[in-house]
Amino acid sequence: MDFEKLKEFRNTHNPFCERLGIRVDEIGPGYARIVKHVTEEDLNPAGLAHGGLYFTMADTASGAACASHGYYGVTVNANYNYYRSGKPGDTLTAEATEGKAGRTLCVYDVRVTNQDGTLLGTGTFTYYMLDRKIDL
């Protein structure tokens, strides 16, 4: 698998993440790192980064790590724990690592941090592997 090509593919074929400014920074075997700069448009009514942003970043990171196997996968279960909030100007990073790579199910643990390395939340995401190869 050419991980640079996969990274580029993930960054150019995901309109939802493109609209939000979420970018794949790195993909490797069973691993992915996603980056996002928090803007005013990402805030909730309290003036903090919206919880949906963290969840989307965690899902995107684990989905990219799942794609490292060369096949599409779809989320079948997700659990996310919110610990702290980000604010405008922060740079958030979501890192997904593989806990289990199976023929039909793959599980990923995700950590979301800010630019200081402060842990903002964690999640566990389970993917069903489709019988559909990613053509780069």
Residue 1 pLDDT exceeds 90: no
CA dihedral 78, 105, 96, 41 (to 10 degrees): -40
Tokens of 2: 């050419």
Range of the domain at 19: 3-133
26-85 per-position pLDDT tens digit: 999 999 999 999 999 999 999 999 999 999 999 999 999 999 999 999 999 999 999 999
pLDDT for the residue numbered 85? 96
In this prediction the pTM is 0.95
87-99 per-position pLDDT tens digit: 999 999 999 999 9
What is the side-by-side order of every strand in the sheet holding 31-37? 23-28, 31-37, 91-101, 105-113, 119-133, 71-82
CATH of the domain at 69: 3.10.129.10
Domain count, the chain: 1
